[in-house]
Amino acid sequence: QQQVKQSPQSLIVQKGGISIINCAYENTAFDYFPWYQQFPGKGPALLIAIRPDVSEKKEGRFTISFNKSAKQFSLHIMDSQPGDSATYFCAASQAQKLVFGQGTRLTINP
Amino acid sequence: NAGVMQNPRHLVRRRGQEARLRCSPMKGHSHVYWYRQLPEEGLKFMVYLQKENIIDESGMPKERFSAEFPKEGPSILRIQQVVRGDSAAYFCASSPLPDNTEAFFGQGTRLTVV
């Protein structure tokens, strides 16, 4: 059963633009929502994370927006750069395990 | 402080052979998680271990797969009698706490079954 749905599957953004990736979940027991960045041949690296008692969290160019009532959260990358080109995964925590979305392949065109 | 170390990075096995994947957690981390990533998919939880204990193996296939995290040495994910469908990237993560909010991932082992 797919518990975290991520969209879009792929995204192309021009340099300097805003990249937006969305996730939706079903299980209201989730209590931690991280985003991971993965480059080819590498493991996922934690980018930014949020708890459901907060509606927004910003770290540098990266912002998570969280809508508890809609059970949705999104990642915004401001001033997107070619170095941001990677696959991004949202996740949600259930007990001691992370449930991942399917991933979004982001390409930033120079 | 070295990160999570996984080896080998690439492993090729013939159908029916055994695959052993090793994970050395970060220093001071006693909680280890294994995830499997199929091509073009997200990571799927397999098992959560603490030293000498399996805490949650709800994501492990019932047959051929086993995991351990001994008192000394790395965590081992063992796949017996591998089949082509086992071809995937296997990632290990470790954390200092019994949750995953500070979990760091290794670079993975890419298993190819031929």
Convert the pLDDT of each residue in B3-14 to its tens digit. 999 999 999 999
Convert the pLDDT of each residue in A18-44 to its tens digit. 999 999 999 988 989 999 999 998 999
Quick one: pLDDT at residue B34? Answer: 97
Convert the pLDDT of each residue in A55-89 to its tens digit. 999 999 999 999 999 999 999 999 999 999 999 99
Alpha carbon distance B7, B19 (integer Å): 11
The amino acid that residue A16 corresponds to is G
**Interface list for chain B against chain A, based on CB atoms closer than 8 Å:** 4, 6, 31, 33, 35, 40-45, 48, 55-56, 58-59, 91, 98-101, 103-108
B16: left (phi over 0), alpha (psi -120 to 50) or beta: left
Alpha carbon distance B46, B61 (integer Å): 8
Of B4, B40, B49, B100, which to mutate for an interface test with A (greatest number of A Cβ within 10 Å)? B100
